[in-house]
Structure 1
Amino acid sequence: MAVSAYDLTGRTAFVTGAASGIGRASAVLLAEAGATVHCADRDEKGLHETATHIRDAGGTAHTHPLDVTDREQLRRAITSCDRLDVLAAIAGIMHSSPVLETRDEDLDRVLNVNFKGVLYACQEAARLMIERGTKGSIVTMASGAVDTGGPGLLCYGAAKAAVVQLTKTLASEVGRYGIRVNAVAPGWIRTPMTDRHDDEAQTHTEALMSRMSPLRRVGEPEDIAHAVLHLASTASSFTTGQILRPNGGVSMPW
């Protein structure tokens, strides 16, 4: 029987933002595919829940409580891995404000987490892969916001656009080492980050987003986790510098 291209047995993945949402779903799916998963997040309770879920299912998980905006914390965590085949840089935060009301501290906070946190993780992971001769895969998390824009999305969209540029530039620089770098740009996904904390507002928002999609639904974290797994696996061995858009068709030109 042929070995599945999605079999990650014997490989090691490092996932930021693993305490909830897309990060948790990705960590769980990578573990189900056979990878040893290092889970990183500043939410220690959520990290413990993710790792417990993986272990209860027979997988192997390690936890790293850390702040992705702290390069040294990331360096220590990533270099502690016995080997590193996959980085999934998923940690992120949401902020919405009109351009004319956006403060310096708003922009700095979002850029620090959503761009610099991804940059630091990519730098440390790529260095380790090169040093150890690993032909690995780096997966970053962009957003459908880079295609559609929208009111209030200056900080978030700018940071995600920077992630796209980072992805393409890094892919062009490390490809000669056999390292692939790709991004996932999700549409609207039902996660704690998109929770409106009001049932009526949440229902209204999801109904609106569903109407915008040809599939007539919003996404679930598992929808994006499968995209991460694809880019992490040898099924995408000839794919690099690309932006995969699992968004329900929202940004499809009409």
Structure 2
Amino acid sequence: MFSLTGKRAVITGGGSGIGRAIALLFARQGAEVHIIELNAEAGQQAADEIRQAGGRAHVHAADVSQQAQVVAAFQAIGWVDVLVNNAGIAHVGTVETTSEADFDRVYQVNVKGAYNCLFAAVPLMKAQGGAIVNLASIAAHVGLTDRFAYSMSKGAIFAMTLSVARDYLSSNIRCNSISPARVHTPFVDGFIAKNYAGREAEIFEKLSRSQPIGRMGTPAEVATLALYLCSDEAGFVTGCDYPLDGGFITLNT
């Protein structure tokens, strides 16, 4: 079950964190993986790990916020069965403390970046159909403190997911999103180290407890859900968002 043999999968931001976990798992399940990554070195490391395990992987250095670069990368890939829009950045701040430059940067990467990849990938999927997974967030569904710009961007991801799912039903293109709560990635460790030097263990525990289940998610858990949604076994699933949140949305009181 959940084989991706014979499928060509594109994962943005596949060089680290959640994107890397998705790239590694998809390759293990037989996909030919194409990583689109701003950090070409990180992308190459992920691709090397895939190849060492006997898989197939390619890296395309591109900034997802730049449409010309994205279109060129997809033209080089040729045809696409699976797209995972994972690349994104975070931002901390209220509407008052979010500068115009910060707001624009989050929009350019998180929203326009996903749009650019959809714009390039959908025409390549129409001939044979395909599966798209967009990484949204619990921030698209609930109010989070000091996450104004980030929440804006993930709300847009959720809305774009529904729009693409509806528009391409007749082309057999499925589009779903995943809304994780906090996931333990190198970004989280770096954020804690930068902002809470000397209190790393305390803050890590506090952030872990913010999920009712009592811990953060793992990149592998997100990758497993993405695999299901991109597999033929999920052929009846489209236009859905899946909270992967340890009970955050429904159990946090």
**Structure 2 CA distance for aligned equivalents of residues 120 and 55 of structure 1:** 28
Residue 148 of structure 1: which of 122, 125, 142 is its match?
A: 142
Distance in 1 of aligned mates of 2:68 and 2:116 = 9
| 1:135 has 2:139 as partner | no
Could you say which residue in structure 2 is the equivalent of 1:77?
A: 73
* Alignment-derived partner of residue 117 in structure 1: 113
Number of equivalences: 248
Counterpart-to-counterpart distance in 1, 2:78 and 2:106: 31
**1:98 is the counterpart of 2:108:** no
* Structure 1 moving runs of 4+ over 6 Å: none
Distance 2:200 2:22 in 1: 24
Partner of residue 190 from structure 1, selected from 178, 184, 192: 184
* CA distance in 1 between partners of 2:117 and 2:203 (Å): 32
Change (3 A) 1:154 1:85: same
2:163 aligned partner, one-letter code = T
String of CA shifts for 1:118-176, please: whole Å, max 9, x gaps. 0110121111111xx12100111101112232221001000000010000011100111
1:174 match: 168
Question: Counterpart of 1:46?
Answer: 42
Q: Out of 210, 219, 222, which is 1:221 matched to?
A: 219
* Alpha carbons 1:94, 1:193 under 8 Å: kept: no
State the shift of 1:215 in Å: 2.3
TM-score, scaled relative to structure 2: 0.94
Which of 235, 238, 246 is the equivalent residue of 2:236? 238
SS at 1:100's partner residue?
Answer: coil
Alpha-carbon distance between aligned partners in 1 of 2:200 and 2:220, rounded to the nearest angstrom = 19
Superimposed CA distance per residue, residues 22-80 of structure 1 (whole angstroms, 9 cap, x where no aligned partner)? 01100111001100000111101101110011001100000001100111111111122
Map Cα deviations across residues 78-106 of structure 1 (whole Å, 9 max, x no partner).
12224310000100001111221211111
Q: What residue is the counterpart of 2:4 in the other structure? A: 8
- Please give the TM-score of this superposition, normalised by the length of structure 1: 0.93
CA–CA separation in structure 2 for the residues paired with 1:210 and 1:37 = 32
Match of 1:33 in 2: 29
Q: Please say if residues 93 and 193 of structure 1, whose CA atoms lie closer than 8 Å, have aligned partners that are also in contact.
A: no
Q: Please tell me the residue identity of whatever aligns with 2:102.
A: D
Gaps of at least 5 residues in structure 2 are none
Label 1:200 to 1:239 Cα distance change in 2 as closer, same or farther (>3 A): farther
Identical columns (%) = 35
Q: Distance in 2 between matches of 1:27 and 1:84?
A: 15
Does the 8 Å contact 2:78/2:124 carry over to 1? no
Contact 2:192–2:204 under 8 Å retained in 1:
no
Residues of 2 paired with 1:87 and 1:62: CA distance?
Answer: 14
